[in-house]
Amino acid sequence: MLTGVGLGPGDPELLTIKAVRMLQDAEVVYVPGGLARRLVEPYCAPIELPFPMSYDEGMIKAQIIRNAEQIAEDAREKNVVFGIIGDPNIFSTFTRLVVILKERFPEVKINTVPGISSITALMSETGLPITGGFFVTDGSEIKSQIRMKVRKPRELVMHLKEEGYTKFALVERMYMDGMQKITGDDLPEESSYFSLLYAERD
């Protein structure tokens, strides 16, 4: 099994309790660079893999494939963690790695543990709270959005489909003991105040 574990925005005190436990329990821990290594070394002895910062897409993909081969060798039989700065599912090297792993090593089970992202850390450091709608982009085309406090998800999805969105996931009462519910296609007419809707278009 391979678990992508978010290490937070760079402050060692902003690792979650779960992240620390995952690092301590892992049989093998991989990291993509020196900052991640510094964050995990108090809890384990990581293996640092090269992930080049380059505009040469061919070179980057070739290195990710080599890294995926090495990780898969361990993850087939061992409890493996990949520690990543920020969150493993938001603008992350881990997501590119997962694409290769799923293509070439579908037998490897993969999951993630969220980390405190630079987006939330930014608001803390600047003292500028977000009180309305906002968007985050790396400069590429916006292809997904997240809606919070979705009380009428089916109605909202109808409007989003008109804008070209085709993939949806509704999560209600996330992490609330025994009450979390995840819905894909057959969305309810009404949902909890504690809800998030993910929408994606091609």
Q: Could you please report the per-residue DSSP string of 64-133?
A: HHHHHHHHHHHHTTS-EEEEESB-TTSS-HHHHHHHHHHHH-TTS-EEEE----HHHHHHHHHT----S-
Residue 109 confidence (pLDDT):
98
Query: What is residue 188's three-state secondary structure?
Result: coil
| 8 A C-beta contact, residue 196 and residue 180 | no
The pTM for the full model equals 0.89
In 3D space, the residue among 191, 132, 133 whose CA is nearest the CA of residue 157 turns out to be: 191
In 3D space, the residue among 95, 114, 125, 91 whose CA is nearest the CA of residue 11 turns out to be: 125
Domain coordinates of the chain in residue numbers? 2-119, 144-201
> What is the chain's pLDDT, residue by residue, as a tens digit (202 residues)?
999 999 999 999 999 999 999 999 999 999 998 999 999 999 999 999 998 887 888 899 999 999 999 999 999 999 999 999 999 999 999 999 999 999 999 999 999 999 999 999 999 999 999 999 998 998 999 999 999 999 999 999 999 999 999 999 999 999 998 899 999 888 999 999 999 999 999 8
* Rounded Cα gap, residues 108 and 101, in angstroms: 7
Query: What is residue 57's three-state secondary structure?
Result: helix
Residue 188 confidence (pLDDT):
94
Count the residues in the chain: 202
* Rounded Cα gap, residues 42 and 160, in angstroms: 46
Instruction: Please name the fold of domain 2-119.
Output: Cobalt-precorrin-4 Transmethylase; domain 1 (3.40.1010)
For residue 8, what is the DSSP state? Answer: B
* Rounded Cα gap, residues 146 and 129, in angstroms: 18
